[in-house]
Structures are given as C-alpha cells and as structure tokens.
Amino acid sequence: MKNQIFVTILLVILIISATIALLARWILISGLTKELELRGIAVAHSIAERGAGFVLEKNSPELLTIIFDEARLMERQHMINYIYVLDRSDQVISHTFTIPFPIGFTKANPMPENASHGVRLVEHGANTSYDIVVPMNEGLYRIGTVHVGLSKEHIDKLVSKLRFMFLGFISAVIIIIFYVSHRISRHITMPITRLTRISDELSQGNFDFNLGQESDTVDPDCLFYRKNQGRDEVSQLADSFLNMVWSIRLYRKRLQESELKYRPLFDSAPNPIFVVDASTETILDANPRAEELYEYPLEALFGMPFQRLGQDHIKDSPIAVRPHGSASGPAKDYVYYPRILHLKNGGHPFYVNMHACPIRYGGRQAIVVAITDITEMIEKDAQLVQAAKMKTLGEMSAGIVHEINQPLNTIKMGSDYLTLLLDQKKTITEVQIRDIVTEISEQVDRATEIINNLRAFGRKSDLTMELVSMKEPIQGVLSIIGRQFSIQRIAIRLDLADNLPLVKAQNNHLQQVFFNLLNNARDAIQEKMEPEPDLYGDIHVRTYSEDGKVVVSVTDNGSGIPEPFRDKIFEPFFTTKKTGKGMGLGLAITYGIVRDYGGTIKIESTPGQGTTFYLIFSAV
Amino acid sequence: MTDTEEMKPEKILVIDDEKATLKMFRLFLDLYGFDIHTAESGEEGLEIFDREKPGIVLTDIKMPGMDGIEVLKEIKRRAPQTEVIVITGHGDMDLAIQALNLDAADFINKPIQRKSLENGLAKARERLKIAQSLQDQVNRMDRQQPA
C-alpha cells in the first residue's frame, strides 16, 4: 500500500516532469536560439545602416571601425565570431578576422533572393558559426551585404547552461516531491499498517495488546469510546476501528463471563442436556449427566444420531418439528414431549420428559434437548395408583363378598340338595341332577368372572401404554361394583357408543379412574339420601366422540359440588367426606392418570341437583 | 292342632333378588314339604305376603330397593306372629343383631349350610308352636274364667 502510493505518485511526477522538461527545453532552447539570431540580425542591420555610406565611398577603414565596434561591444565579443561586409560584387570590403580572410568564405552563405536575411551554419577554421546575412541597401539599390558570424560554441554554451540549470531545477522539484510523496504515503499508510497489525492480533485471538491510543481523544463519558472529531479520514477510520475493537473486547469479555456462568450450569445440571444439530440430527454436545444416564461415554455421544437414544419420538421427532414454526403454524419457543421412552446404552428403556428448543450453536442451527428422567416418578405414580387400588379393593370388599357369596350360596345349596336327596334315599331323576349341576357350573363361571375382574383391577399394570376402548374399563368396574350400587339403591345406566375411537392409555388405570368417579357419585348420592331417604340414585355413564376426542361423561343426581370447592377437588388430600370415609386422593389420582394420557377433566355441577364429570381424551 | 292342619303344607315365602338362590330354595323347601312362594324384591314379597299370609318368611337382607330389614319391620307390623328368618351375607353381624332385635326368628349366613337352614326352620316352627300354644292357653284361660 505504502509502496504503491509512493511509486504511483513518483511515476506521475516523473512523467509530468519529463513532459515539462521536454516542452520547456524545446521552448527555451528554440527561443534562445531565435533571440540570439535576432540579436545577430540586429547587429547586422545596424552595420548595414551605419556602414552604407562607407561602402559607397569604399571607405574600408571607417567601415572596419564600425564593424569592430559592433563586434567587440560589451559581451558581444564572446558571441560574435566575425563580421564582414561585402560589396555588390561580393568582394570583401572589410572584416574582423584577425587572420587573413578565408578563401571562398564569401560563398559560404550567399544572400538569398527576396528575403530580409539568411542564416546558415558555416565552418571556418576550427570554429563553427551561424552566419547571418542581411542586405545593405542605399535607397532601392543593394550596395552590399553584411555577414555576422554568431559563435555556435557560445550559443551551445548558453544553451547547455540553460539546460543544466533547468534540469537541476526539475531534479530539485522531483526530489522535493519524492520526499513529500513519501511522507504523504507514510502518513496515509502508517495508521492502516497499525490497523492491519491490530487486525492480525485480533484474528490470532490476542485482545490484550496495547492500542497505544492518545488519551486526549478519550471521551470523558465513556472510557473506551473515541469520538471521531476533526482530524483526517484515516484517523477517523482508526478511531472507528479502535471503537470496534473495544466493543469486541467488551462483548468477548461478556461472552466469557456468560460462558463461565453457563458452562458450569450445563455441566452440573442435574438433568441430561444435549445439543443436537438441526440438519444432521447428530449430537454436538452433551453434559456429564447425559453420559451418566444414557451410559454412553461422552466421546461416543458426540456425533451420534440423536434418534438412537429413543424410538418413541421417531415419528414426530423434535427435529422434524420445525422449531421456527412450520409453514402452517407460528414459531414455538420449545416443543415438549411428555413421557417418552428412551434407551440406555445396551437397550434398557426408561421414561423421560423432553424439551426441545432451537438455538444457534457455533454458527449452526441446533436444538437444545433437555431431558428429565421420570422413570422413578412414573414408578411412584404407579405405586400410588396401586396403593389407591388396593385401598379401593378394601372399600369394595363388602360388595365383593356379597358378589361372590351369591354364586357360592347357590353352589352350596345345590350340592347340599343333592346330598339331602341321597340321605333321604330318594330316587333322583337324571333331569334333576342335570338341572342342579348346570346351575352349579353356571355359578362357578360367574364367580370366576368376578375374580378375573378383580384380578385385572388389582394387577399392577406395567408402564407401557396400550390402545384401550373406553367400554372395557367401564364394564370391568361395573361388574365389580354394579351390584353393590344397586343394593344401595343406585342405578347405573350405561350409554356406551359402539365403534368409539381407541385411546392410548392403560385399561387398568382407567378402571381406577372410573371406580373413583362412580364412588364419588355414590357418595354424593348417599349424602343427598340422608335428608331424602326416598331418593333413588341414578348414575348415567355415557361415551361418545366429539371433534376427534373421546368423551366419557359420568352424571349423578347427588348433592353436587359447591362452587368454591370445584377448583379444589383435584387437590390431593382435599375431601368433604366424613373423617375416615376418604383420604382425598381419589380425584387427585384420577386427575393424574387422565393427565398422563393427555386427557382433561371438566366438571359441571349444580348443588342439590347433581354433577357431571367429563373426561376428554384424544383419540388415536 | 288338628290333623287336617298338619296335612296341609305350611306356607313359606322366600324373598331374594337372586333367581338362582330362589331356585335352590324351592328345591330344598319342597323336599321339606313346604308350600313355597318366592319374590325377587322386598316390594313383591310384601305383596305376596298380604295375599298368601305365610307363617314363615325367609328374606335376604341386602337387596336393591327395599332391603330385608325394612321387609322384616313391615311384616312384623302387619302380622307380628309371622316368623321371619333373615339371610345375611358373611360377616354382616350388625345387620343380624339388628334383625334379631326386630324380633326375627333367626338369621342364616350365606352361603347357606343345610344344617343352619334346617335349624332356622326348626326354630321358626318352634316359635310358631310356642306362640300357638301360648295363644291356646290364653284362650283356655279365658274360657275357664267366665265373667
């Protein structure tokens, strides 16, 4: 840069100088030569004027005096080599040669016709002269010619002197310009060189060099900010650049602080966090907890396809979900996947909740995936549900005993009857035996069915979801408690739609849900029965589909839920029942189960009239 | 008690919401020589009771609608001399005691043992007999002490 500016300036100056030099030389030298010639002509004319009389008189000595006077006047003696005067017949009248007049010299420069003068380069002896010839007139007649010899040597000397002076001047100018241009280029390029050096340092990551700034330009308000005031553009550029460097330094420092702040958060987070490339779906980064939970070494996690960690979300992978909003939907801050199955190294499955959130990572579009291991929670949930079911079974035991007692009673009576017949030695007809035995067999089947339902209800279900038709759990629960309810003068009416879409849930847990709802309905009805002993309980269970949802409604004609309690009834340990009647967990568990399946619960209630619970599930 | 009365089978009413149970009772009581009437609910039972006036009533306690205790009370109100045997589920001792306090003849636990059924029926018959003889004595004393 510096050299370029320098060379360019120099080149331009040289070309201009050379042009000026050539032009000036031509003008000066030709002008000088002309001037000297004119002076020669003037001398010749003067002689022709003054000497005309003497030529006519052939007065050689006077003429000689004149021409000598002219030739030797002042500095002309150096310039004028000779003067000689010729008459009409070109005979030398007088001359200034100190040597004998060279023979034939008169013919060297004859007077041209029809011209006021003539000039020609002539040689005489060792000298070379510009011979100037002018006519000498007397009236209309030419009486002779005057030749003046101007010393070429002298002219050349003058010219070379002039040329020397001129070249010297040009050289001086060039040297000055050279120096000036050097200074200018240095002045321009020096800050740029400095900026270059700083940039190099910056790019090498060294931000802690001395900027060497002059403190006089530092803004008093901001220690680092330099105002671009006055000065030249290069300085302003430098200032801007330094400001930029300060900004970078500042942001870098903040970034470092932020990194210092967030890296430990990332590393010490109690939950696994992954950074996944959005396009390749490979893992870019993972924290130690991820290594621990997934039982892969960190090195193995880097670059591993994220989908290898889990299969549940392959269909609707977090990556497949446009973090910046799909073409149809608006951008979401994050995507949440509750309760999905992930696999450890070695294929051991466990449950997680997953948050996916888009970020820029090292210039790439990436996704931060935060994982929460909820296996333990789900197991605890299952245990709670299980405990609740066991409690329910306890509560149901009276009903169950009654339920099982009926077939047992029939079987017992049937067999006793047969024994009685045998004891009384009466003849038993085949029809009688067949009748009794068929009855006994039917009753055994009935008892078996009850026991199967109980077993299904009491079984600790595994954690995986299945596709459930709402009909199954409702009928299952009813087979256990239906009779007990009817004894308590509560009729359960079923209105179950056929071909209802399936729901992803667990039959076993749904039984608990319906048991809880029916149990609450019964309690509400019994509460109302106290002041109204003639009341007949009515519970209406409906299933139907609506807008792609599966809805189960349970309506009772019980006491209803007072407005202030409606928000609280799903809270654990909230109960309005008498002490010892309920723990206040039934609806809390119900709510937890329904929410686990992505469902919602709605309540409509009129105190004194009854309550309707709506369970709304997404159909598969 | 006359011979003609003994010849005539004793009327008995069984109330239970279980058809199968009723069927078994019919077989058994037929063998014991009763004139059996059955009802599937308390309400129906009272209807038949009013019509047939049976001496002994067997009723289940746990029934939808009107339960056994109510049936017992109602029968004792309409015809106090009627002997009522209540059939209770296993472990329903409270209900059994309640029934005895309401002057039930006996209670039988389900599943019904042949022995306890026979005992219950015997006890009922005994009570009926005692009541009858007491009544006869009262009648005799009335006749022996004319005003």
State the ipTM, two decimals. Answer: 0.85
Query: Residue A441: its pLDDT value, please?
Result: 93
pLDDT at A214 over 70: no
Mutate to test the interface with B, among A397, A400, A410 (most CBs of B within 10 A): A410
* Strand pairing category for B56-60 and B83-88: parallel
What does each C-alpha distance from A591 to A334, A366, A615, B119 come to in angstroms? Answer: 25, 36, 9, 53
- pLDDT band at residue A209 using 50, 70 and 90 as cut-offs: low
Q: Are B99 and B61 in contact (CB under 8 A)?
A: yes
Residue B76 has pLDDT above 90, yes or no: yes
Give the gyration radius of chain A's Cα atoms: 63
Q: Report the sign of the C-alpha dihedral through residues B62, B65, B68, B70, in that order.
A: positive
DSSP state of A187: H
Q: Nearest CB to A413: which of B24, B62, B89?
A: B24
- Lowest-confidence pick of A187-201, A372-386, A488-502: A187-201
Please answer yes or no on whether A408 and B31 come within 8 Å at the CB atom: no
What six digits make up the tokens of A218?
Answer: 């530092």
pLDDT in tens, A260-293: 888 888 888 889 998 888 888 888 889 998 888 8
Contact across the interface for B110 and A439, Cβ inside 8 Å: no
Residues above pLDDT 70, as percent of chain A: 90
Q: Are A277 and A364 in contact (CB under 8 A)?
A: yes
- Name the β-bridge partners of A373: A352
Of the candidate ranges A39-43, A440-444, A461-465, the one whose mean pLDDT is the lowest: A461-465
Q: What per-residue confidence (pLDDT) applies to A210?
A: 60
pLDDT at B94: 87
| Residue A504 neighbours by CB under 8 Å, 6+ apart | A465, A466, A467, A468, A597, A598, A618, A620
**Set of chain B residues whose Cβ sits within 8 Å of the Cβ of A533:** none
How do A610-618 and A549-556 pair as beta strands? antiparallel
In angstroms, the CA A156 to CA A33 distance is: 9
- How far B14 CA lies from chain A's nearest CA (Å)? 14
Q: Give the rounded percent of residues in chain A with a pLDDT score beyond 90.
A: 9
Around Cβ B59, how many Cβ atoms within 10 Å? 27
From CA B67, how far away is CA B120, in angstroms rounded?
20
CA distances from A362 to A299, A332, A365, A367, A371 (A): 19, 22, 8, 12, 22
Q: Where is pLDDT greater, at B4 or B38?
A: B38
Roughly what angle, to the nearest 10 degrees, separates helices A375-423 and A507-529? Answer: 70
A412 pLDDT exceeds 50?
yes
HSE-up of residue A488 (Cα within 13 Å, Cβ side) = 26
Taking an 8 Å cut-off on Cβ atoms, the answer to whether A405 and B24 are in contact is no
Provide the chain A residues 471-490 that lie in CB contact (below 8 A) with chain B.
486-487, 489
Residue B4, pLDDT > 70, answer no
Kind plus residue range of the DSSP H or E element containing A480: helix A471-487
CA pair distance A578, A259, nearest whole angstrom: 57
CB pairs under 8 A between A and B: 68
How long is chain B?
A: 147
At residue A91, what is the residue type?
A: Q
Using the Cβ of B43 and the Cβ atoms of chain A, whether some distance falls under 8 Å is answered with: no
With an 8 Å Cβ cutoff, are B112 and A412 in contact? yes
User: Do B112 and A409 make contact, defined as CB atoms within 8 angstroms?
Assistant: yes
B110 pLDDT band (50/70/90 cuts)?
Answer: confident
Probe site for chain B from A409, A422, A490, A539 (most B CB atoms < 10 A): A409
Mean pLDDT for A120-147 is: 81
Please state the φ and ψ torsions of residue A343, each to the nearest 5 degrees.
Answer: -120, 135
Interface contact B20-A443, CB threshold 8 A: yes
* Residue A84 near residue A98 (C-beta atoms within 8 A): no
What pLDDT score was predicted for residue A323? 42
Cα distance from B133 to chain A (closest Cα, Å)?
A: 31
DSSP helix/strand/coil, B36? strand
Q: Which of B64, B91, B112 sits opposite A413 (nearest CB)?
A: B112
Is the pLDDT reported for residue A224 higher than 60?
A: no
Whether B25 sits inside 8 A of A489 (CB atoms) is: no
Residue B54 is given by DSSP the state -
What is residue A544's three-state secondary structure? strand
Q: Give me the pLDDT at residue A543, please.
A: 94
**Average pLDDT for B94-116:** 89
Region B4-18: what's the mean pLDDT? 79
- Nearest-angstrom CA–CA distance, A282 and A288: 17
**Token duo for residue A265:** 């958060």
Which residue type, as a one-letter code, is found at position A510? L
Residue B59: its pLDDT value, please?
Answer: 94
Q: Determine whether the interchain pair B64/A419 forms a contact, defined as Cβ–Cβ distance below 8 Å.
A: no
Binary contact (A421, B65; C-beta < 8 A): no
Q: Give the count of beta carbons closer than 10 Å to the beta carbon of residue A568.
A: 13
Over residues A160-167, mean pLDDT = 83
Return the structure tokens found at A43: 């001398």
Q: Mean per-residue pLDDT for A80-90?
A: 81
Least confident of A162-171, A347-356, A394-403, B106-115: A394-403
Higher pLDDT, A273 or A234: A273
**pLDDT confidence of residue B11:** 92
Q: Which residue has the tokens 């629960």?
A: A477
Q: Does B107 touch chain A (CB under 8 A)?
A: no
Calculate the average pLDDT of chain A: 81
Instruction: Say how far apart CA A284 and CA A274 lie, in whole Å.
Output: 7
